[in-house]
Amino acid sequence: MRPEPTFADKNPSKFRDYSMDTTDPLKERVRQTYRQMHLNQTVDFVKGRREHWLKFNTIKMTVREALEKLNDLVDESDPDLDLPNIIHAFQAAERARAEFPEHDWLHLTALIHDLGKIMAFYGEPQWAVVGDTFAVGCRWGDSIVYRDESFEGNPDGDNPAYNTELGIYQPNCGVDNLLMSWGHDEYMYSVLKHNKTKLPHVACNIIRFHSFYPWHNGGDYKHLEAPQDAETKKWVLIFNRYDLYTKSEVVPDIEALWPYYQTLIDKYLPGVLEF
């Protein structure tokens, strides 16, 4: 899963560096974002945010308008990039297009995978928008970043209904049935389904689980996997090559690329969407 040299301006070992250094402003911003996330993301919190956001009555806009809004967002959980999200969106999409030119659905999936981050413009703190996701309602996965100290004070850790290996779930229930920490993945997946996207279901699942690193990268939650999750994981791992290893200072010519991607938007997710 390492990138070809032509697609990486940064050594792969330098990505996703979550080491602690309180003198480094970027690393400290990332650590504090995860601290707030892990302290506050409980079963009750997630249910409340789902109740709030899944009414889809926040704003109506096109995909292009939503992408252009991301011009003003820098992800406070990302240790690899300090550029607006729209640039990363086109970086990822172009990488997918280069490797799988025949899968236009994958190109669009890469372009819109972070669109759910628009929640940050409508009152949601970034710790409930960005960053790696995890399942709530069961024991937190061992590979979660900052796992050892950042969950201290989260009441679900003291709740016997939620702090066991299975928690509220049945063995091999499938990742589709997990209650995920609230963030842009789950929100955008729900936006796609609500707006009746023509993207294939696997594309929606890529968006839903692309930040679920403790599962697809860390090897946690295997006891909750169902057989059909193997296909989802396969495509998420393919996609994450574009999501992660295209993060560089090379900025694509967005205006030149718009016509192609607008044809994909018109094909799979046209018109004005309800967010």
Q: Is 102 annotated as a binding residue?
A: no
List b or e across 225-239, with b for residues whose CB sees 16 or more CB atoms inside 10 angstroms: beeebeebbebbebb
Task: Tell me how far the alpha carbon of residue 88 is from its chain's centroid.
Answer: 13
Q: Is 184 annotated as a binding residue?
A: yes
Q: Is 137 annotated as a binding residue?
A: no
Using DSSP, state whether 60 is helix, strand or coil: strand
Q: Is 131 annotated as a binding residue?
A: yes
Q: Is 55 annotated as a binding residue?
A: no
Residue 214: name the closest of 45, 38, 31, 40 by CA: 38
Q: Is 176 annotated as a binding residue?
A: no
Q: Is 243 annotated as a binding residue?
A: yes
**Contact of 115 with 126, CB cutoff 8 Å:** no
Q: Is 210 annotated as a binding residue?
A: yes
**Contact of 198 with 109, CB cutoff 8 Å:** no
Q: Is 116 annotated as a binding residue?
A: no
Q: Is 16 annotated as a binding residue?
A: yes
**Contact of 238 with 216, CB cutoff 8 Å:** no
Q: Is 211 annotated as a binding residue?
A: yes
Q: Is 9 annotated as a binding residue?
A: no
Could you list the residues known to form a binding site for substrate, using ranges: 16, 75-77, 117, 131-132, 210-211
Could you list the residues known to form a binding site, using ranges: 16, 75-77, 88, 113-114, 117, 131-132, 184, 210-211, 243
Could you list the residues known to form a binding site for Fe cation, using ranges: 88, 113-114, 184, 210, 243
